[in-house]
Structure 1
Amino acid sequence: MLARSPDTTAALAATLDPLLARPELLTTLREYLRHGMSARATARALYVHPNTVPYRLRTIEQLLGRSLSDVTGLTDVLIALHHLDMDSAPAPAGPS
């Protein structure tokens, strides 16, 4: 329902705009969420130094203007990521 509103769609798309030019940050965010918000597990999954993940998360929060430890900010980011995934998914094939 959210994605059907043009205003909502524009707002969702804009949420992650600051990360689109920094794919390593978008990847870090996805992995962080995938690994239960564990910086240590995220670092292992990304094969980066354990201090790299908290640094990237602070950068993400600054760029997005949202705290990932705040439920409202996190929810906005989760919905925006879902929207981004749906928007970039290939369209289903029609009947042949």
Structure 2
Amino acid sequence: MGLPLDTDTVLLVVRGAPDDVLRRALGDLPHLILRRGDDHYLLGPPALAAPIAALPGVSAGLSRPFPPGESTRVAQREAVWAATQAAESGKALIHYGDDTTGRWLPDDPATLEALVEHVLGAVLSYDEAHDSQLLTSARTWMERNRHTEAAAAALHIHPNTLAYRLRRFAALTGRDLSSSAAFAEVWLAIRAARQLGLHDQ
């Protein structure tokens, strides 16, 4: 397909770039491109990252390099996760592994699923049944270093509403988020859910 076989391959998920702009940016670089909804999936050499990162208004995620011909299943999860991180942070490009917590999670989906079910299963079921935002609220609060006012502002809710959601989250998970051990376990489970594509919002 024209891709080099003597160097590692990467997978990029690109959001916010029209087809024609993306094709012009890639120029003569060897690549395969697939569009899925609003996302473009690019397969090719690591050199693809630089022109993508230079595009205005783009959010892109880059997988770890892998040998040509290897399955893209893990790379796809990595790139989707990184693209979501890029969109949330306002950065043009995130390399999978930039997150110091996520890099320690295993690649095995069964292990990740077991962690998510054990820690977050009750919350995921509750959110689905009640169209609530408990997991999103807890994640936002944790990402803002447990600053309730900042997290409530980001969620566009009153701080008291966030405090209620956090209490409900703690009750469903059976974990006191004031405990360092519980906090660490929940944080890893949230990262695992994101890596599996179960919690991308």
Q: What range describes the TM-score normalised by the shorter chain of this pair?
A: 0.7 to 0.9
- Percentage of matched positions with identical amino acids: 33
Residues 1:39 and 2:142 aligned together: no
**Amino acid in structure 2 at the alignment position of 1:78:** W
Which of 12, 15, 30 is the matching residue for 2:115? 12
Over residues 27-82 of structure 1, what are the superposed CA-to-partner deviations in whole Å (9 max), with x where a residue is unaligned? 10111011111111111111111211111111110000001110110111011011
Q: Which residue of 1 aligns with 2:60?
A: none
- Checking the alignment, whether the CA contact within 8 Å between 2:120 and 2:173 is kept in structure 1 is yes
1:58 equivalent to 2:155? Answer no
Contact 2:152 2:159 in 1 (8 A): yes
Paired positions, count: 88
TM-score, scaled relative to structure 2: 0.40
Alpha-carbon distance in 1 for matches of 2:152, 2:145 = 12
Structure 2 portions without partners, runs of 5+: 1-103
**CA RMSD of the aligned region, Å?**
2.0
TM-score, reference length from structure 1: 0.79
d(CA) in 1 for partners of 2:192, 2:113 = 10
Alignment map for 1:73-92 (pairs within 5 Å) = 73-88=182-197
Specify the alignment match of 1:94 in structure 2. none
Residues 52 and 82 (structure 1 numbering): CA distance in 2 closer, same or farther, change over 3 Å? same
Q: 1:35 to 1:2 in 2, by over 3 A?
A: closer
Higher relative contact order by CA 8 Å / sep ≥ 6: 1 or 2?
A: 1
| Structure number with bigger Rg | 2
The gaps in structure 1 that reach 5 residues or longer are 90-96
Task: Give the secondary-structure state (helix, strand or coil) at the position aligned to 1:16.
Answer: helix
Residue type at the aligned position of 1:56: R
